[in-house]
Amino acid sequence: MLIKRSPNGVDIPFASEITPKHIFESRRSFIRQVAVGSIAGGALLEMATRQALAQNAARKLAGKPNPAYPMMDRQSAYKDATTYNNFYEFGTDKSDPAKYAGSLKTRPWSIAIEGEVKKPMTLDLDSLLKLAPLEERIYRLRCVEGWSMVIPWVGYSLSALIKKVEPTGNAKFIEFVTLADPKQMPGLRSPVLDWPYVEGLRIDEAHHPLALLTFGMYGEVLPNQNGAPVRIVLPWKYGFKSAKSIVKIRFVNEQPKTAWNIAAPQEYGFYANVNPEVDHPRWSQASERRIGEDSFFTRKRKTLMFNGYSEVASLYAGMDLKKLF
C-alpha cells in the first residue's frame, strides 16, 4: 500500500469530513433521483425514526459488566453515538441514518447460518439473545475517516455462536451479510456500493473474545441507525468491519469479497486493523478526533496500534501489516 502524506508534511485537517470521489458523485445522482419526493418522503421517514427511537428508549437491554474489559476513557454521549453514524443503507451523510432508519423493521428477525458447519441453522432474535449471557463491554470504536467514540455495548462473544454451529475443518473465514431491502433502506438506491453489504473475518479473528455479537448499547436495544437488531463490534479494527443488521453468516473456505474492499481496494483492506503506521492514501491515520471533543482548541488523540487492544497482536504474528492492511 502506498503511504502518502500532504506535500508540506502536515496531516490533512478534518480528514474525517473528506468524501471519496465515487461517493460524492453517487450522492449527487442519488439526490437528483429522489428530489421530487424528498420533502414529503423525508418528513415521513423522520417521523417514523422519531417513533422508533421513542419505542427503543423503553426497551431496556442490560448486560452484566465484564471486568476483563475495563475502559478508562470517558464514554461518548448517547446523542453523539446515535446521530453521527456510517450506515450507507440509509444514506451517505453522517446524519442520514438517524433521520431515515425508522423505516427498518427489526421484528421479526432471524439470521441464517450456513456453509462449512456441521449444524446449519436459522435462529430468530429471541433464540440469539438466549444463546449466552449478555455482557456490557465499553469499547473504543475507531473509524477509518479519522474519528472515534467510546460506547458501552451489550452482547456476548461471537465465539459462543460459532461453538453452537460447529464449523468444519474447511471453515477458514466467516462472511457476514447485511439486510438489503430497498423498501426499508432508501440508501440502496445509491450505487455507492454493491449491495448487500458484506464483511468478513478470518476464523481465528472471529474466535477472539473481543469479537462481540451485539444487540444493545447504553443499556438499551440497539437503535436502528446503529445496526439493529444485531451487529458485530470489532474494537481493534476500523468501524467498517463491524457489519450491521446481519441476516446471514456463512462459514467459507476462501477469503470473502467484502463491500468496501471491492469498491476501493487501495483504501479499504480486508484486515482493516487500526494501524497508525499505515496511512489512508489521502490522509494520515496517526491521530484521531474523539466525537464530542470537537472544540477548536482540543488536540487530536494519538492513534494506538490495534486501537489499544494489544491482546490481538498474536493473531497477526509474522504478517506484514503494511501490505496486509
* Cα–Cα distances in angstroms (integers) from residue 43 to residues 78, 105, 187, in the given order: 24, 18, 16
> Is pLDDT above 70 for 236?
yes
For residue 72, name the pLDDT band (cuts at 50, 70, 90). Answer: confident
Mean pLDDT of the chain: 87
Q: Which among 92, 80, 51, 39 is positioned nearest to 224, based on CA atoms?
A: 51
pLDDT value of position 132: 98
Q: Please determine, for residue 17, whether its predicted confidence score (pLDDT) is greater than 90.
A: no
Q: Give one DSSP letter per residue of 154-181, joined into a string.
A: EEEETHHHHHHH-B-TT--EEEEEE---
Q: How far apart are CA 18 and CA 208, in angstroms?
A: 33
The least confident of 36-50, 93-107, 215-229, 278-292 is 36-50
pLDDT at 6: 40
Asked if 322 contacts 3 with a C-beta cutoff of 8 angstroms, the reply is yes
Residue 299 has pLDDT above 90, yes or no: no
| Separation of alpha carbons 206 and 117, rounded Å | 15
The predicted-structure confidence for 195-227, as pLDDT tens digits, reads as follows 999 999 999 999 999 999 999 999 999 999 999
DSSP code of residue 19? P
Q: Which residue has the higher pLDDT, 6 or 211?
A: 211
The answer to whether residue 48 scores a pLDDT higher than 80 is no
CB–CB of 252/174 below 8 Å?
yes
What is the domain partition of the chain in residue ranges? 17-259
Q: Supply the pLDDT for residue 50.
A: 53
User: What is the pLDDT, as a whole number, of residue 4?
Assistant: 40
CA distance 277 to 260: 21
Q: What is the mean pLDDT of residues 281-287?
A: 94
Output the pLDDT for position 5: 40
Which residues are CB-contacts of 156 (< 8 A; sequence separation ≥ 6)?
131, 132, 133, 134, 135, 212, 213
Pick among 3.30.450.40, 3.30.1280.10, 3.40.50.1360, 3.90.420.10: CATH of 17-259: 3.90.420.10
- The CA distance from 213 to 230, in Å, is 7
Q: Quote the pLDDT of residue 298.
A: 79
**What is the Cα–Cα distance from 129 to 194, expressed in whole angstroms?**
30
Q: Determine which of 12-26, 59-73, 88-102 has the lowest per-residue pLDDT on average.
A: 12-26
- To the question of pTM greater than 0.75 for the whole model, the response is yes
Locate all alpha helices (DSSP H) within 65-122, ordered by sequence.
78-83, 96-100
pLDDT class of 67 with cuts at 50, 70, 90: confident
**Predicted confidence band of residue 305 (pLDDT cuts 50, 70, 90):** very high
Alpha helix (H) residue ranges in 226-309: 259-263
259 confidence band (pLDDT: 50, 70, 90): very high
Determine the pLDDT at residue 32: 46
Cis amide leading into 191 (omega within 30): no
Query: In this predicted model, what pLDDT tens digit does every residue of 107-160 receive, in sequence order?
Result: 999 999 999 999 999 999 999 999 999 999 999 999 999 999 999 999 999 999
- Give the three-state DSSP class for 192: coil
% of the chain with per-residue pLDDT over 90: 77
Mean pLDDT of 223-249: 98
Contacts of residue 244, defined as CB under 8 A and 6 or more positions apart, other chains included, come to 87, 178, 197, 226, 227, 228, 231
Other beta carbons less than 10 A from residue 182's beta carbon: 11
Cell numbers linked to 172: 477458514
